[in-house]
Amino acid sequence: MSGEKKPIIIKKVKKVEEGGHHGGAWKIAYADFVTAMMAFFLVMWLLNMTSEEKRAKIAMYFRTFSIFEKAGGSIMEGGTGKPFEKDKKGESQIVEKIEVEIAAAATEGNADKVKESLMGVVKTQLQEFSDQIVIATTPEGIRIDIIDKSGNPIFSSGSSSLNKNGKDILKVLSNTLNELSNKIVIEGHTDAATYRGDRNGNWDLSIQRANAARAELLINGFDPNKISSVAGYAATKPIVKDNPNDPANRRISFLILYQKAGQFDNGTSDLPPALK
């Protein structure tokens, strides 16, 4: 019929942006993903091409680096990468971090190098006890003796409890020894003196002190799997042989057992656990 009005038809045209339903956002996300993967594989390649010694330095750098403090020299240029801190007097100084610059394992072949690094730690962080810490290489491993000194003991007389001196020393050494993948032996030694009313005797006292040292290492974060054994020797292995009662014979010893070539990090077998 000519008199009827035609219906009004409204067409909605949906504008499709370039890139489909989600626009171009997916391209940015994909580009970020590809960049991240490229960076990851680049880091893995660099780690594979870098020596174990430099990898240890790089790991130590990122453990100690802080954006709120000045950084040290470049690692790749031979710097330590250690941050600057202030001592108790407020003076700026380079803080020597717990670092043994080796391939994370002590072997008979690099024993002298490890010994020098350990002595460096003692010199810089335990200077006040430097005359009470003796480090030597042996056929079995690297031995660290922490000896008593008249007027400056590490245990109270006749006690198995570490005093502040002993705890301060072990706090530093626990972190240092933990940098190595080697297992350690902990030994306790006494002098030949006996104490009235002491029912345990020097044998028990020596092993109690060795066990106290073990416990203190664990308190400071030492890996318990790296402890091979704990032993007490009473006065049977004196350092000062011509004077069994010398204070130096009262000591705690740590023997860093050499890791043989081809040996795995657990230091117990040439075969991984799954193949035992």
* Per-residue pLDDT in tens (0 to 9) along the chain, 276 residues: 555 666 777 666 666 555 555 566 778 888 888 888 888 888 777 777 666 556 666 665 555 555 444 444 444 444 444 443 444 443 334 334 444 454 468 888 889 989 998 999 999 999 999 999 999 999 999 999 999 888 889 987 778 899 999 999 999 999 999 989 999 999 999 988 876 556 568 899 999 999 999 999 999 999 999 999 999 999 999 999 999 989 899 999 999 999 875 444 444 434 334 323
Nearest CA to 186 out of 216, 220, 156, 148 is that of 216
pLDDT of residue 227: 96
Domain count, the chain: 2
**Token digits of residue 43:** 């880091």
5 located within any domain = no
Examine the domain organization and report whether 113 and 82 are in the same domain: no
Examine the domain organization and report whether 83 and 116 are in the same domain: no
Nearest CA to 75 out of 91, 51, 93 is that of 51
Examine the domain organization and report whether 128 and 236 are in the same domain: yes
Examine the domain organization and report whether 222 and 121 are in the same domain: yes
pLDDT of residue 53: 56
Q: Which domain holds residue 163?
A: 98-275
The span from the CA of 175 to the CA of 219, in Å, is 11
Domain edge (last residue) among 95, 115, 146: 95
Domain edge (last residue) among 69, 95, 121: 95
DSSP count for the chain of H helices, then E strands: 5, 7
Examine the domain organization and report whether 59 and 139 are in the same domain: no
CATH code (residue 148)? 3.30.1330.60
pLDDT of residue 200: 65
Examine the domain organization and report whether 73 and 172 are in the same domain: no
Cα 190 to Cα 15, 139, 229, 232, 241, distances in angstroms: 89, 23, 18, 9, 13
15 located within any domain = no
8 located within any domain = no
Q: Cβ–Cβ contacts within 10 Å for residue 178, how many?
A: 17
